[in-house]
Amino acid sequence: MTTPQRDLHEGNRQSWNVATEAHNSHKGDQAAFYRDGGNKLYAEERELLGDIAGKRVVHLQCNSGQDTLSLVQLGAVAVGVDISDTAIEFAQQLSRDSGVPADFVRADVYDWLEETEADGETFDIVFCSYGAIIWLSDLKTWAKGISSVLKPGGKLVVVDFHPMSLCFDDDWTLKFPYSGFDGSGSLWVWEDGVGDYVATELQQASPDSELPGTQKFENPHPSYEFNWGIADILKALLGAGLVIDRFEEYPYSNSGHIPGMLQDERGKWVTPPEIPAIPLMYGITAVKPSD
């Protein structure tokens, strides 16, 4: 039986603290974007979320809060939770500067779920997205915690990169295991830590443009990831008493997070021509029964 590996979470906190500064250095005036009504949510998560006007939403592993503020732009009352001090400080400042109100809490997601359950606080929707699941060291505890903070009839919405896509190296050779296949995940240790994926995606989308902000970022702190297969995720949610009411696989991604990806006519990122189509993202909604 797995338990949250908080020592590895602490290592990730340090790695994300450094990386987040580099990421946000490339993004320009984000406060103006939100003041002008901007929204970072893609069609896939909007569809899975449905009408969220007036609903209480918690965004777990919210990073620097951009998607959390986007939830507010759609009418939600939102709380964002993230382990990174730098990310939460940025999110709080972005909320103030943009005038888009949201609460942000710096906490290990497992601690926050435990404390929120103890306080008896509940939400209509729990949301997590894009690169969130790989940082979870214990899916069963995570799923049970989510169930405990959902109102009866409330739902979890997950939109993330498909674990199949994470099996490939940068040259599209099959290199990494899909899953531990035993409910424990596959631990990956990256000595070079959380990278500057924002720079990578910008340069891939506009290779002839000059990169704004931090150049040639290097992270001094290693990071720790857990590769969970789709079955691992679904079994954890079902084991927590949630009802899976929708599951989607998408043969494209909303970001060019692997070198060699190409943008199609819709602006979606797909596999290079020599690689057959594979699922690059997935979506899940799971409901807490009302009785």
Encoding tokens for residue 218?
A: 């290097």
pTM of the model: 0.94
Q: Quick one: CA torsion of 132, 63, 189, 221, rounded to 10 degrees?
A: 180
User: Is residue 269 in a domain?
Assistant: yes
User: Is residue 1 in a domain?
Assistant: no
Question: Look-up: residue for tokens 């594979």?
Answer: 278
**For residue 239, what are the contacts with CB-CB under 8 A and spacing of at least 6?**
140, 143, 144
DSSP state of 178: S
pLDDT for the residue 138: 96
User: Is residue 47 in a domain?
Assistant: yes
State the maximum Cα–Cα separation within the chain, in Å, rounded to a whole number: 57
Q: The domain spanning residue 143 has which CATH number?
A: 3.40.50.150
Closest CA to 161 of 258, 53, 51, 18: 258
Identify the band that residue 181 occupies on the pLDDT scale cut at 50, 70 and 90. Answer: confident
Closest CA to 163 of 246, 234, 108: 234
Rg of the chain taking only CA atoms, in angstroms: 18
- Statement: residue 1 has pLDDT above 70: no
Closest CA to 94 of 180, 158, 43, 35: 35
pLDDT for the residue 260: 87
- Range of the structural domain that residue 272 is part of: 6-287
- Statement: residue 202 has pLDDT above 80: no
More reliable by pLDDT, 245 or 30: 245
Per-residue model confidence as pLDDT tens digits over 220-237: 999 999 999 999 999 999
pLDDT for the residue 256: 79
pLDDT for the residue 206: 78
pLDDT for the residue 198: 73
User: Is residue 283 in a domain?
Assistant: yes
* % of the chain with per-residue pLDDT over 70: 99
- Residue 272, number of CB atoms within 10 A of its CB: 11
pLDDT for the residue 215: 85
Closest CA to 262 of 141, 172, 146, 187: 172
Answer positive or negative: Cα dihedral of 166, 6, 237, 155. Answer: negative
Question: Look-up: residue for tokens 């896509």?
Answer: 165
User: Is residue 18 in a domain?
Assistant: yes
Per-residue model confidence as pLDDT tens digits over 40-89: 999 999 999 999 999 999 999 999 999 999 999 999 999 999 999 999 99
Per-residue model confidence as pLDDT tens digits over 149-177: 999 999 999 999 999 999 999 899 999 88
User: Is residue 239 in a domain?
Assistant: yes
Minimum mean pLDDT range among 33-37, 199-203, 283-287: 199-203
Per-residue model confidence as pLDDT tens digits over 240-272: 999 999 999 999 999 877 888 999 999 999 999
Instruction: Provide mean pLDDT across the span 27-35.
Output: 90
pLDDT for the residue 232: 95
pLDDT for the residue 194: 85
Number of domains within the chain: 1
**DSSP state string for 103-125:** EEEES-HHHHHHHHHHHT--EEE
